[in-house]
Amino acid sequence: MSDFKDIIFEIDDGVATLTLNRPDALNALTFDMMYEVQEALKLIEADSSIRALILTGAGRAFCSGQDLRNRPDSAGEDKVQAVMDCYFGAMDGLRKLRVPVITAVNGTAAGAGFSFALVSDVIMAARSAKFIQVFSRIGLIPDMGSTYLLPQLIGRARTLKVMMTNEPIMAETALEWGLISDCVADEDLLPMARDLAAKLAQGPTKALVATRAMVDEAEDNDFATHVRRELEVQMDIAETADATEGVAAFVEKRQANFTGT
C-alpha cells in the first residue's frame, strides 16, 4: 500500500498485516523501522475500514531485538527521549490502537523483539518459536517494557529466572505459562492468525478495544473503583451503533451485523 523500506504493510478485507521486513538481520529493530511502524499505525487510525491488525516477521524470525549498531546520535537525557519518541511511540501506538492487535510469532522473539511481541492483545506462536531475553548476556537490563509487561503474564519468579539466565521459553512452555494464547504448527500460524483477525474484524470494534482498556486499567485500580469504571465505560459503549445492533440481534435471534461504529 505505502512505500515502506523496513516493513510490509498490507490490507485485505478489513484486516491489516504489518510485517517486520529485515529478514537478513532477523528483523532487528532500527529507528527507521520503528518510525515506519508509527506511520503504518497512523494509516490504520485514519482508515475506518481496517478493523484488525496482524503483526508478524518476515523470514525465519519474528524479531531478534534492537540492532545494536543503530543508535541515536544524542547523549544523556536526549538519548533517552529519542528512544522514547521512536521505540515507545511505536509500542504504545500498538497497545492503544483503535482495533484489536494479533501478534503471530514466527521463530525467535529476542530482547526488544520479545518486548515488542508483548504489547498486542493476542499472541500466537509457531511451535518452533522461542522467546528469549538476552539482555544480561551482554551486560544490560531488560528494557522496552519487558520488566513491566512480562511479570504480569508469567509472574515474578519465572520472569526473573528467564531474565537473569537467558534461558529461552519455547512456544509450548509459553502456552503453559500463559505468555501466549495459541501454539500451532508452523505452517498454520498465519492462516490461523488471519482467521482470528477476520473474526475480530467482524466484531464490535469499540467494545473490543474498550475491553482491552479495562483489562489494562485493572492493574492500577482497587475492586470497587474498577467495577465503577466498568459501568461508566459500559454506559458509553451502550450508546454505540454496534451495541444497538447487538441487542436487537439478540432479541430477534439472528446474527449481529457489526460495523465497528
Residue 1 lies in a domain: no
How do residues 249-260 score in pLDDT, each as one tens digit?
Answer: 999 999 999 999
Could you tell me if 20 and 36 are in contact, meaning their C-beta atoms sit under 8 angstroms apart? no
68 & 142 share domain: yes
How do residues 170-209 score in pLDDT, each as one tens digit?
Answer: 999 999 999 999 999 999 999 999 999 999 999 999 999 9
Residue 257 lies in a domain: no
Q: What is the pLDDT of residue 77?
A: 63
Residue 158 lies in a domain: yes
132 & 20 share domain: yes
25 & 103 share domain: yes
75 & 105 share domain: yes
How do residues 120-160 score in pLDDT, each as one tens digit?
Answer: 999 999 999 999 999 999 999 999 999 999 999 999 999 99
94 & 164 share domain: yes
Cβ contacts of residue 38 below 8 Å, gap of 6+? 86, 89, 90, 93
Q: How many domains does one find in the chain?
A: 2
Last residue of a domain, one of 159, 177, 201: 201
Residue 256 lies in a domain: no
46 & 84 share domain: yes
Which residues lie across from 132 on neighbouring strands?
110
184 & 238 share domain: no
| Band (74; pLDDT cuts 50, 70, 90) | low
183 & 222 share domain: no
Residue 56 lies in a domain: yes
Rounded average pLDDT over 45-60? 97
209 & 175 share domain: no
Residues spanned by the domain of 65 = 7-201
40 & 124 share domain: yes
Q: What is the pLDDT of residue 73?
A: 64
CATH number for the domain spanning 50: value is 3.90.226.10
| Cα–Cα dist 235/178, whole Å | 31
Q: In this model, does residue 219 exceed pLDDT 60?
A: yes
Rounded average pLDDT over 89-94? 97
Residue 2 lies in a domain: no
Could you tell me if 207 and 237 are in contact, meaning their C-beta atoms sit under 8 angstroms apart? yes
Give the relative orientation of helices 146-154 and 156-165 as an angle to the nearest 10 degrees.
130
pTM for the structure as a whole: 0.94
Residue 225 lies in a domain: yes
